């Protein structure tokens, strides 16, 4: 159980998100602690499918927050104050990820839809008064 300080609860909340997306974006350290190059730096969010882009952005936000929490605890800083921005990013990305619903498409449903919504029916529906 968490105490009054918020960082224990923050760590528990961060750990509950991870099992949903267990794959963490790997990072490669180049030189020192200040230079990090993501192994998936070539991933173009603009060209990806929406579900893939949201998953990638959520994983990246989780990895950034995890690094922030580890760094703050290592240096003795207050985790809540130090990592509030990265936690907000995780929360925002999680809300986007959970709110996304992929369009439902299959041949049977599209055939049924196109049989019902003919051009004449669409025109009538658009011109009728309520």
User: Which residue segment(s) compose the domain that 68 sits in?
Assistant: 7-120
Lowest mean pLDDT among 10-14, 40-44, 112-116: 10-14
Which residues are CB-contacts of 96 (< 8 A; sequence separation ≥ 6)?
54, 57, 58
**Residue 125 falls inside a structural domain:** no
pLDDT-derived band at 85, boundaries 50, 70, 90: very high
Average pLDDT over residues 28-49: 57
pLDDT > 50? residue 25: no
Average pLDDT over residues 81-90: 94
* Whole-number percent of the chain with pLDDT over 70: 68
Tokens for 72, please give them.
């703050």
pLDDT > 60? residue 14: no
**Residue 126 falls inside a structural domain:** no
- Smallest CA-to-CA distance from 10 within 97, 95, 91, 87 is with 87
pTM as predicted: 0.51
Give me the number of domains the chain comprises. 1
At residue 46, the pLDDT reads: 87
Average pLDDT over residues 96-107: 82
Lowest mean pLDDT among 10-19, 81-90, 110-119: 10-19
**Residue 68 falls inside a structural domain:** yes
**Residue 34 falls inside a structural domain:** yes
Find out whether 9 and 2 touch, Cβ atoms under 8 Å: yes
């Amino acid at each position: 159980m968490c105490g009054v300080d918020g960082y224990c609860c923050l760590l528990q909340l961060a750990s509950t998100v991870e099992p949903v997306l267990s794959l963490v974006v790997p990072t490669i350290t180049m030189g020192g602690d200040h230079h990090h190059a993501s192994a998936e730096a070539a991933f173009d969010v603009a060209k990806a499918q929406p579900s893939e882009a949201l998953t990638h952005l959520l994983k990246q936000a989780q990895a950034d927050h995890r690094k922030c929490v580890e760094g703050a605890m290592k240096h003795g800083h207050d985790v809540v104050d130090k990592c509030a921005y990265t936690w907000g990013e995780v929360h925002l990305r999680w809300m986007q990820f959970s709110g996304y619903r992929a369009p439902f498409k299959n041949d049977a449903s599209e055939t049924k839809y196109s049989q019902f919504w003919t051009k004449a029916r669409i025109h009538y529906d658009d011109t009728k008064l309520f």
